[in-house]
Structure 1
Amino acid sequence: MSAGDKDVPGSIDPAWYAGQVEAHGNRREQRAAAEKRAEAARAKQGNGHAGTNSVEIWQPNLFRMEDLMNAPPRCPKFVIDGLLPPGLTFIAGRPKQGKSLVCLGMSLAIANGTPFWGHEVQRGHVLYLDLESAAWRVHSRIEKIGVEVRTGITFCFEWKRGNRDALIALLDARPDIRLVVIDVWRKFALPQPRHVEQYEHEQEELQWLSKLGTERGIAILCVGHTIKNPAMDSDVFVGIGGSSAITGNSDAVMLLRREGEDERVLYTQGRDLGEASWRLRLDDRLTFHCLGDASLCVTREQMDYLRAIAEGAWSQRMLADRMKVTRQAVSQMLDRLTTSGLINSGTGMTVLTLTGEQVLEAQSR
């Protein structure tokens, strides 16, 4: 249909008038789109989040080197020595792996002032935001653990997402708080706005928590989940769900991984931690016990695999026949042994590493 065929009542020149309507109509759409973008920018404002249109006049706080060296800033103490630093720690794992039990164990140790897995703790109050469990379930867990002292922890079972002021008010009301557990972090943080990238959103949320913990000298322990990622064979932390902002903006990260029915490995990494892995065993009272360095501890099942590989079972098929399990079970076990540095299958044949040989020799004595 041509412009002249458009029905424009009252126009002497319908073709010209239709062109004007079409042109100005497009401009109206552009103005509407611009207004929509402006409205989205204004929506970012409020509740302690960035998003102002004004230019902030800000003066950085500078330190001369001689002043910094002559009067060094106070270094906050670890809340759990060698394991839980001040600031933000992010712990992740698959559902039902025991992340909440690890957090509860840390909380009880800090509240009671008792060592945790042999590590000294700073005794203090614990604020536990349990946003996935009901009060009766937490009561049942603590009853089963059987702790004698039943004070020192304040629980909260609901939260209005993104409400930072409420957390600050709770911390101001209890200056003796040493640990804040947020289980899970996704139900605490502000929902991701549609116009903001995931990395940008997670970075802003986690940087705020890290700064809050560091400035107050407390530990903030956030719980998250993992996803399947083939690269976990070489770096377990890439399995943490979300963007790379989580590992990049946390002062420490932990990943809990199942190793058998009642055993787990807790991988830790941080700016002031280095890298470590701890083998844990869960007892009937829902308490994890640390068995030591995971690279030096192996389960009976893993020992059977190491022994079979040393005796010539170099392929998944040979191992499946010998262990009388499926190839999928063999593949999962080989992934764990590779991550622990006990075997190497890069040449197409599964062989023991030097560490694997040493572990097998030590266990065979």
Structure 2
Amino acid sequence: MSESSYIPGVGSPDPLPLQPTQQRIRTAWTADELMAAQFPEPRWAVPGIISEGVNLLAGPPKVGKSWLSLGLALSVAAGGQALERVQVDSGPVLYLALEDTARRLQTRMRKILGTAPAPSTLTLATSCPALPQGGSEAIAQWVERHPDARMVIIDVFAKMRGLSMPGASAYDADYAAVGHAKRIADHYGIAIVLVHHVRKAGSDDFLAEVSGTNGLAGAADATLVLKRARGQADGVLHVTGRDVDETEYALRFHPEAGAWQLLEGTAADHTIGDTRAAILRFVRANPGARPKQITEGTGLEPALVRQTCSRMANDAQLLRRAGGYAVPNENGGQG
């Protein structure tokens, strides 16, 4: 690794021979050998949300991606709870805050931490070479020095993706750009989070909102899209990937603490109006409930309950069942 690839406090100017080590990793089996092999479970940095491998975290500008990233970095480095609800194991974390200054990072950490001590297991850097031009080696060197490392966050990915190969298609260029990070993640079994942007135009498919071609999401092991939400939540985190089930999480942002909080229940509970949310909660607890029972259980007006339940059924938020209602894919409701 060249001197220009060295990140003070992150790597070292000594060369890191990744390739010889990587060649010892087995990549082929006969079918019976593969079926007989035993593999460890994926290592989760944030269980159910961020697993080992490349995690592409995308969202619109100013939605709070950097607050979310820094909060997760602090939580995983210190151990305890991430997003105020998810138990995480502690371990070293590298946070490359490439659009921030040291002063701004200090201000943000002071707000997030409050009276809690800053974890010495979190390394922060505000500059790093592009991945193809020495950044990969710098990150790998840091991981080598922290063998129990749990996560690396690159905020933002555009600052480190580097130049595309001449003549490469846009898809191939995007795929190759993520591939640099994936090589590190797979080699060390570590979670790498690439913070990215979404397109200005929305889409029903959250994967289609990721800025760039499908090569980005295709090369990543998981894609997370943070979107602004309506109703009681401030955001919804859409998650899908190879080792994580497709899920939606409702989040609330607390500006005074700079903290994102994972809300209890499904995202639908918090992204619809209060009336629908009350009905949904009651039906979930009382499958097959009829409008009269919902009226009595929620205290809502009978006409409002009948009208809202009918509209929720038309919107596939409820299923009609034997004169009553059920929640799709729950309580025996088929959806």
- TM-score normalized by structure 2? 0.70
User: Structure 2 CA distance, aligned partners of 1:174 and 1:306?
Assistant: 46
2:41 is paired with a residue of what secondary structure? coil
Pick one of 252, 256, 259 that aligns with 2:226: 256
Aligned to 1:181: 153
Pick one of 162, 176, 180 that aligns with 1:190: 162
Pick one of 314, 318, 335 that aligns with 1:355: 318
Aligned to 1:99: 65
2:318 is paired with a residue of what secondary structure? helix
Q: Does 1:226 align with 2:198?
A: yes
Q: Does 1:140 align with 2:107?
A: yes
**Which consecutive aligned stretches of 4+ in structure 1 deviate over 6 angstroms post-superposition?**
304-307, 356-359
Q: Does 1:157 align with 2:123?
A: no
Mapping 1:258-277, distance limit 5 Å: 258-260=228-230, 263-277=234-248
Asked which structure has the greater CA Rg, the reply is 1
Distance 1:355 1:108, change over 3 A: farther
Give ranges in structure 2 of 5+ residues lacking alignment.
Answer: 1-16, 18-25, 279-310, 320-324, 328-335
1:298 is paired with a residue of what secondary structure? helix
User: Structure 1 CA distance, aligned partners of 2:111 and 2:233?
Assistant: 17
Q: Does 1:72 align with 2:38?
A: yes
Q: Is the CA contact 2:233–2:250 (under 8 Å) kept in the aligned structure 1?
A: no
**1:73: Cα distance to partner?**
2.7
Q: Is the CA contact 2:42–2:243 (under 8 Å) kept in the aligned structure 1?
A: no
Percent identity, aligned pairs only? 27
Give ranges in structure 1 of 5+ residues lacking alignment.
Answer: 1-47, 49-59, 308-341, 345-350, 360-365
Q: Is the CA contact 1:86–1:218 (under 8 Å) kept in the aligned structure 2?
A: yes
Moved more, 271-280 or 144-153: 144-153
Distance 1:108 1:343, change over 3 A: same
Q: Deviations over 1:147-167 (max 9, x none)?
A: 513121111101222322222
Q: Is the CA contact 1:229–1:238 (under 8 Å) kept in the aligned structure 2?
A: no
**1:240: Cα distance to partner?**
0.5
**1:354: Cα distance to partner?**
3.7
Q: Deviations over 1:311-354 (max 9, x none)?
A: xxxxxxxxxxxxxxxxxxxxxxxxxxxxxxx969xxxxxx5434
Distance 1:109 1:147, change over 3 A: farther
User: Structure 1 CA distance, aligned partners of 2:170 and 2:54?
Assistant: 19
Moved more, 186-195 or 251-260: 186-195
User: Which one has the bigger helix percentage?
Assistant: 1
Q: Does 1:298 align with 2:270?
A: yes
Distance 1:217 1:122, change over 3 A: farther
Pick one of 174, 177, 182 that aligns with 1:205: 177
**1:114: Cα distance to partner?**
0.7
- TM-score normalized by structure 1? 0.64
Moved more, 126-135 or 60-69: 60-69
Pick one of 236, 259, 268 that aligns with 1:287: 259
Aligned CA-pair RMSD: 2.7
**1:276: Cα distance to partner?**
0.7
User: Structure 1 CA distance, aligned partners of 2:45 and 2:94?
Assistant: 14
Distance 1:171 1:180, change over 3 A: same
Q: Does 1:82 align with 2:48?
A: yes
Q: Deviations over 1:223-255 (max 9, x none)?
A: 00001335x12x112100011011111111100
Q: Deviations over 1:155-182 (max 9, x none)?
A: 1101222322222222222223211000
User: Structure 2 CA distance, aligned partners of 1:272 and 1:256?
Assistant: 19
Q: Is the CA contact 1:265–1:294 (under 8 Å) kept in the aligned structure 2?
A: no
